[in-house]
Amino acid sequence: MLDEHQLRKTLSHLDGRGYKAYKQIQGQFEFSDFELLIDHVQGDPFAQPSKIRLRVQQDISQIPEELWTNSIRQIALEDFVARAVRNAIKETVTPKKGTGKSGLIFIDAGKQEVLERTAFVITKDWVEARIQIGLPARGRTILGQEAIEILCQEIPIIVEKSLQWKYLDKNACKFFVDCVENQESIRKQLDHANLSAFVANGSILPRASGISDRPLTGNNLVEFQSPKSLETSFQLINPLPNGETVIHGLGFPKGVTLIVGGGYHGKSTLLKTLERCVYPHIPTDGREYVITNPNAVKIRAEDGRRIEKVNIDPFITNLPQDIKTDSFCSDDASGSTSQAANIMEAIEVGCDLLLLDEDTSATNFMVRDARMQKLVQKDQEPITPFVDRIRELYEIQGVSTILVMGGSGDYFDVADTVIKMKDYVAHDVNDETQKIVKDYPTQRQVEVPKPIEQISGRIPISSCFNASRGRKKVKIDIQGNDKIIYGTEAIDLRFVDQLVEMSQTRAIGHAIYMASQFMMRDSQSLKEIVQSLEDYFYDNGLDSLDPFYEKEKHPGNYSRPRKYEIAAAINRIRTLKIKFSSR
């Protein structure tokens, strides 16, 4: 292993040479209190930045073992330290001038959600931060002295500030880890309590703006408060800052829950909160004690998406021209057929809580009122509206629904719980709703031609997942949170609302490749494939998603996706081919 002095000497020697000469510093260098591992050197200042790892032995780092005694605490700790590294970079690094990505230093740390990620790793022997650096250049000429400043002056300060326990904010770290462990403890209790979700009193649901996920601040802020009739409580593993070990809030019972109210009174804000809180949140988010069933999937209409052999028969039958609906295919689905497919695909892989908002739903999919039923007879209408299936989904299939509805009182007849939002305050209006149902009975007829049958297992054919592009066997790129370029195919994820960061999207692209190579067999259903990926991640982590891991040892930009979003991406790749299980 070389040392810091030899790295400085090499960089001085490289000063002024062509950029590709940077390849000479690839390797391992020992500093006084950490190891610098340069895994991959970019070939051009405009290319993706170089990949390095910063490893500190535990006898120097000394992060207490009590902070990572189980998998949840370890995920929280690793997430916290990745954020600490990011803060240290901001405090330490001075702006650099140069070509392309010269001087850029970053780590893949999180936003409001706390996720398992590959950016930071802790073991009993060492801790390791995986970061990326744009090696400096003017044009394509190496700036060796600027590289020395980054690698030999700024990097050691970053290591000291963020990877040694004596310099970390100890109270903040313990609070962060304890808070995440509390959240996941409540999540595990939801099923036993017969609840789909929980919103703690005092939570801050509104966001700062439509383009910000940070909490709203100011005098007009309304903290969430549960109606007493729906209030429940949970015992916490770790005490809150005020010393309390019990937390109170609104429990959403399993079954059918409506969220009603006027426009701009907080209905969609509440649903959006539940949608995002399938993941734990950082302690300052305001939603850190909003807990949603981890099997919840947000459903919406998605005009134009491709659908490959999905049984939408429970919602749509008897289409013109004898189009099959028990294995429905479309290259350009309508709002209603896409929403039906989204529901059936989610249930197929294990979803047991649907989250819907009428604002993002197809109107004709949600309800047909009595007057329309009189004008257009059922034998002329292929759609069985969601209002007529919602009870059956819960009572027979075990799938609950939380639905924002402001435009149709026909859903009162099928609801177990009705919550009215007024000025961002929640009210239990069950009694009032039942009186309305009694005083104003619906005139519409239930339009269910037959019960929902067992959902068939769809088997993806592995040969349709070609990740190659040009001369590269594996070429998978992402464009923001919502687009994967898989080989030559674009996977559009704009309407998969529970993807929260690019690192998840990146992980999904490579998870699909892994599944196509090792998990897609003639008899493996989509449900079994995504569950195999889940099991693999639990046993092995995310590192091996990187097809270049064995060569570079730096898979530092993945975060854990759920199986539902992986399945959603598979279902949206336009080359997908499906056959059905004979079991």
In a domain, 233, yes or no: no
Q: Which long-range contacts (CB under 8 A, 24 or more apart) does 61-70 make?
A: 61/126, 61/127, 61/163, 61/164, 61/165, 62/164, 62/165, 62/166, 63/122, 63/127, 63/165, 63/168, 64/165, 65/124, 67/173, 67/174, 67/177, 68/122, 68/177, 70/181
3-state secondary structure of 197: strand
Return the pLDDT at 549: 74
CA distance 167 to 342: 48
Q: Does 249 score more than 80 pLDDT?
A: yes
Q: What is the mean pLDDT of residues 458-462?
A: 94
Q: Does residue 410 sit in the same domain as residue 466?
A: no
Is 247 inside any structural domain?
no
pLDDT at position 522: 75
What is the structure's pLDDT at 31?
97
Is the domain of 466 the same as that of 427? no
Q: What is the pLDDT of residues 274-332, one digit of tens each?
A: 999 999 999 999 999 999 999 999 999 999 999 999 999 999 998 888 899 999 999 99
Answer yes or no: is pLDDT of 534 > 80.
yes
Q: For 537-563, how does the pLDDT look when each residue is reduced to its tens digit (9 = 90+)?
A: 999 999 989 877 777 778 889 999 999
Report how far Cα 305 is from the mean position of its chain's Cα atoms: 20
The verdict on residue 206 lying in a domain is no
**Which of 101, 136, 168 corresponds to the end of one domain?**
168
- On the 0-12 / 13-18 / 19+ scale of CB atoms within 10 A, 287 is buried
Q: Is residue 448 part of a domain?
A: no
Judgement on whether residues 470 and 435 belong to the same structural domain of the protein: no
Three-state DSSP string of 384-438: CCHHHCHHHHHHCCCCEEEEECCCCHHHHHHCCEEEEEECCEEEECHHHHHHHHH
Residue 269 CB neighbour total at 10 angstroms: 18
Residue count of the chain: 583
Residue 219 domain flag: no
CA distance 394 to 196: 12
Alpha-carbon radius of gyration of the chain:
26
d(CA 140, CA 376) in angstroms, rounded, equals 70
Contact 345, 275 (CB under 8 A): no
Residue 7 within any structural domain of the chain: yes
Same domain assignment for residues 521 and 473: yes
Mean pLDDT of 386-399: 97
8-state DSSP, 546: S
- How do residues 200-238 score in pLDDT, each as one tens digit? 999 999 999 988 999 999 888 999 999 999 999 999 999
Beta bridge mates, 419: 259, 428
Residue 354 shares a structural domain with residue 403: yes
* pLDDT for 582: 58
- What amino acid is encoded at 522 in this protein? D
Cα atoms found within 13 Å of the Cα of residue 336, Cβ hemisphere only = 19
Contact 124, 41 (CB under 8 A): no
Say how many domains are in the chain.
3
Q: Chain-centre distance of CA 367, in angstroms?
A: 30
**Within a domain: residue 244?**
no
Predicted confidence at residue 38, as pLDDT, reads: 97
CB atoms within 10 A of CB 173: 20
Q: How far apart are the two ends of the chain, measured CA to CA in Å?
A: 57
Give me the residue label for tokens 């689905």: 333
- Name the E strands within 12-161: 27-30, 35-40, 50-57, 105-107, 120-122, 126-133, 137-138, 141-142
Closest CA to 38 of 150, 122, 161, 160: 150
DSSP assigned state of 281: B
pLDDT band with cut points at 50, 70 and 90 for residue 385: very high
Q: Are 230 and 193 in contact (CB under 8 A)?
A: no
- pLDDT band of 583, cuts 50, 70, 90: low
Domain boundary among 136, 168, 200: 168
- Residue carrying the six token digits 């109606």: 227
Q: DSSP secondary structure string, 76-108?
A: HHHHHHHHHHHHHHHHHPPP---STTTT-EEE-
Tokens of 304: 């134009």
Q: Tell me: do 16 and 160 sit in the same domain.
A: yes
Q: Is the pLDDT of residue 530 over 80?
A: yes
Type and span of the H or E element at 233: strand 231-235
Kindly state whether residues 393 and 528 are assigned to the same domain: no
Whether residue 559 is found in the same domain as residue 434: no
Rounded to the nearest integer, the mean pLDDT of the chain is 95
Which of 168, 188, 210 is the endpoint of a domain?
Answer: 168
Task: Check whether 266 has a pLDDT greater than 70.
Answer: yes
Predicted local distance difference test score (pLDDT) of residue 210: 87
Task: Determine the pLDDT at residue 43.
Answer: 94
- Residue 31 burial by CB count (10 A; 0-12/13-18/19+): exposed, middle or buried? middle
The answer to whether residues 128 and 60 belong to one domain is yes
435 and 499: one domain?
A: no
How many whole angstroms separate alpha carbon 464 and alpha carbon 574? 9
Do residues 427 and 250 make contact, with C-beta atoms less than 8 angstroms apart?
Answer: no
Angle formed at CA 145 by CA 11 and CA 555, multiple of 5 degrees: 60
| Residue 196 Cα to chain centre, angstroms | 18
Q: What is the mean pLDDT of residues 514-535?
A: 92
Q: In the predicted model, is pLDDT for residue 581 greater than 90? A: no
The verdict on 420 and 530 lying in the same domain is no
| Coil, strand or helix at 514 | helix
Could you tell me the pLDDT band of residue 523, with boundaries at 50, 70 and 90?
A: confident
Range(s) of the domain holding residue 415: 296-439
Question: How many CB atoms lie under 10 A from the CB of residue 18?
Answer: 12
At residue 455, the pLDDT reads: 83
Domain-embedded: residue 415: yes
Q: Are residues 146 and 7 in the same domain?
A: yes
pLDDT class of 4 with cuts at 50, 70, 90: very high
